Structure 1
């Protein structure tokens, strides 16, 4: 008798445990399959423990106690968007002279604020390619622990760069003897710096292969690291299976970075035919920020951007957009990367219209920010699509984004890992 009672008690306990796990259902007018470009009418997405467990059409869910049914009858579902080039610690609306004096804790607070803003704009995953003091790594860990709200973050830690190069700080007088945290020269020194970033939590690596727009005294197209140094960075990061991003505007730097085995080239402004062929042959992803030019040239001066930097932006903007068009036409791998921080965070989706204007179809632009970005992060079995077994990172938009890409600039519904953050 005692054994029977014990068995019944265990069975009841198991049943109660099963009922304790509530299921969420999301229904909508339509759902975009970003792989095929097809619209699925009247979808019903079943979510359990943050993961999509079923997708049906024209079906009404049978709700158990505690289950939730989110109804979005006028909206189209899509996977959460992904931006592969952001800098969450930086605020373009604050004059550059003020930013120089910001402490690492202050940067982390800024990053937490902008992380929430980015998520609410529909970007459920970002790659932060450079921040001082491991500040964004701390923000990422806070998000993962549930302390603060934000997207999934791949955080690179301090960007690696040569002494006096784009990833160094050349604005302070020599008597201060200041060197940026990621500076390292020589193959063994850069290996040490990669190991240091990984030690303190980096899950991506970024280095500066050429000069850049917003640094002092660097030539935009000039290569900085040698092939041997770039190869050492890539090899060390790949030992830990981390994606490597190379900031590279200039043609030689782009080619050298691709030959060294980087996963993505950021900006990729001065592409020639050989660089495009190399990118195709190596399967390298290009992340080209073709939206922010107008913001920089319109508001840069009032935000304290030096004339040297504004002049470099004028030089590179048209060239970069021409290179973008040529890369798209050639079928190079492309991801969505905006350089958010050069323009206000939360406006990331404004780049979609520029991508369509300069050669992509609406579907290609969306794929750059979903399936392609997931492949770059080697997360294409978990992120970037609405599919059974994938994370329930879901956004919803009004209308059909394949007919009007600008709908992505206004996202009324955001879910990450089954939790609704905007509705």
Structure 2
């Protein structure tokens, strides 16, 4: 430590200061005010934004200048619903039996980098095998390029529920998984499962409150937890400072989840007006995942892409999500941006912006949902989601103003995370 202090002192004595980066921006998006501001320079020092200056400025001779004068610059996007370990496809159901943890880990690094290159500098991973925890650590330690990850580790289900890891297996392989494997059937199991997730290193808790589309089980919408079980999970999660999420397609499962204290409802396909009102009352957020709904409905038309039981559910449920989102948004339900990437190819996350705008959400509100709102839900509102002094330097740039062309968000040209440039085209 003494050597470092002496070295820094020597640099200052020689007139050499730490190197800063000056991003000269044609315009920047103020996500809090919902405005574009012309001709600004963002000064980055270390992993943080030092200042946002008027005009195009430069620093000293040792500083770096990056020309983004013809770009629109935004805070890094935050996706609250991804599955970073995998991607859906015809082989996905066999992969459970053929891929080792190391195989899953190596493929997850590809998906992580693709996500980062698409401008998503932070994600919430809502369930995998537990490799997602190791991936988060590898990214945090600089071993792998990828977004900042808040992970649920293995999500929670009831026996035979959407995230029961032995669904679809023959009887000799089904066994009876319990809280350690993420299967709970009582409030006591729920508390133990949350504590196990904490012990494993998870950041957040995700339950599957209803049946799902991609699991090998016939019902995609029935409720699968009691309110008592959900309350035990949310109360324990609160003790450990963990944000809670519930996968839910069916309305009764959503209602129970909201009453049980879950903060974010994922998908919401069959959400009723009554449940929307309940969510407003309890300040629970809808995470729409419109892209996933559209993608699974389309892929289900391809013979053999999904097992027959899955394809039937995908065709029925997938097309509902965008319409439900439109109703929920117009009714005033709080909205948080999330895509369910992994159900569709990672890196296409920004398609969600277009689908949100398509049914009436202004682009600035959609951008706020993917920055301001999601940062707040993750407890990072003082560090993420804005281009502002003191915030982490998670910065992306696109060719056009998203106000005139929302599709420009699907082609990110510049990516910086924690002050490091990962992409500059």
* TM-score above 0.5: yes
Going from structure 1 to structure 2, the CA distance change for 1:225 and 1:54 (only over 3 Å counts) comes to same
Matches within 5 A, 1:372-383: 372-383=373-384
Match of 1:39 among 26, 36, 39: 36
Contact 1:88–1:110 under 8 Å retained in 2:
no
Counterparts of 1:279 and 1:358, CA distance in 2: 20
| 1:64-99 C-alpha deviation (Å, 9 max, x unpaired) | 42x211111210110001111100111224523432
Aligned to 1:4: none
Contact 2:297–2:319 under 8 Å retained in 1:
no
Contact 2:296–2:315 under 8 Å retained in 1:
no
Match of 2:46 among 41, 45, 49: 49
Q: Is 1:128 paired with 2:125?
A: yes
Counterparts of 1:367 and 1:11, CA distance in 2: 39
Counterparts of 2:53 and 2:66, CA distance in 1: 15
Aligned to 1:6: none
Contact 2:188–2:232 under 8 Å retained in 1:
yes
Matches within 5 A, 1:12-23: 12-13=9-10, 15=12, 19=16, 21-23=18-20
Question: Aligned to 2:212, what secondary structure does the other structure show?
Answer: coil
Aligned to 1:358: 359
Aligned to 2:265: 265
Counterparts of 1:72 and 1:353, CA distance in 2: 24
Aligned to 1:292: 292
Counterparts of 1:10 and 1:237, CA distance in 2: 45
Question: Aligned to 1:30, what secondary structure does the other structure show?
Answer: strand
Aligned to 2:230: 230
Match of 1:172 among 145, 169, 172: 169
Going from structure 1 to structure 2, the CA distance change for 1:355 and 1:12 (only over 3 Å counts) comes to closer
Match of 2:86 among 86, 90, 98: 90
Question: Aligned to 2:49, what secondary structure does the other structure show?
Answer: strand
Question: Aligned to 2:350, what secondary structure does the other structure show?
Answer: helix
For residue 215 of structure 1, report the CA deviation from its aligned partner. Answer: 1.4
Contact 2:167–2:174 under 8 Å retained in 1:
no
Aligned to 2:142: 146
For residue 62 of structure 1, report the CA deviation from its aligned partner. Answer: 2.6
Counterparts of 1:408 and 1:243, CA distance in 2: 28
Question: Aligned to 1:153, what secondary structure does the other structure show?
Answer: strand
Contact 1:290–1:338 under 8 Å retained in 2:
yes
Question: Aligned to 1:72, what secondary structure does the other structure show?
Answer: strand
Counterparts of 2:290 and 2:102, CA distance in 1: 31
Matches within 5 A, 1:344-355: 344-355=345-356
For residue 110 of structure 1, report the CA deviation from its aligned partner. Answer: 1.5
Question: Aligned to 1:415, what secondary structure does the other structure show?
Answer: strand
Which sits farther off after the overlay, 181-190 or 55-64? 55-64
For residue 342 of structure 1, report the CA deviation from its aligned partner. Answer: 1.2
| 1:84-118 C-alpha deviation (Å, 9 max, x unpaired) | 11001112245234322222221111111100110
Question: Aligned to 2:235, what secondary structure does the other structure show?
Answer: helix
Matches within 5 A, 1:174-323: 174-178=171-175, 181-300=181-300, 301=302, 304-323=305-324
Which sits farther off after the overlay, 116-125 or 335-344? 335-344
Going from structure 1 to structure 2, the CA distance change for 1:175 and 1:239 (only over 3 Å counts) comes to same
Structure 1, unmatched stretches of 5+, are: 1-8
Counterparts of 1:295 and 1:263, CA distance in 2: 26
Counterparts of 1:351 and 1:216, CA distance in 2: 26
Aligned to 2:3: none
Question: Aligned to 1:292, what secondary structure does the other structure show?
Answer: helix
Contact 2:294–2:318 under 8 Å retained in 1:
no
| 1:12-55 C-alpha deviation (Å, 9 max, x unpaired) | 53725994521111111111111222111111001111111110
Going from structure 1 to structure 2, the CA distance change for 1:88 and 1:18 (only over 3 Å counts) comes to farther
Going from structure 1 to structure 2, the CA distance change for 1:45 and 1:220 (only over 3 Å counts) comes to same
Going from structure 1 to structure 2, the CA distance change for 1:409 and 1:337 (only over 3 Å counts) comes to same
Q: Is 1:161 paired with 2:157?
A: yes
Going from structure 1 to structure 2, the CA distance change for 1:291 and 1:336 (only over 3 Å counts) comes to same
User: RMSD of the TM alignment (CA)?
Assistant: 1.8
How many residues of Structure 1 are paired with residues of Structure 2 in the alignment? 413
Q: What's the TM-score, normalizing by structure 1? A: 0.93
Aligned to 2:370: 369
For residue 307 of structure 1, report the CA deviation from its aligned partner. Answer: 2.0
Q: What's the TM-score, normalizing by structure 2? A: 0.93
Going from structure 1 to structure 2, the CA distance change for 1:176 and 1:16 (only over 3 Å counts) comes to farther
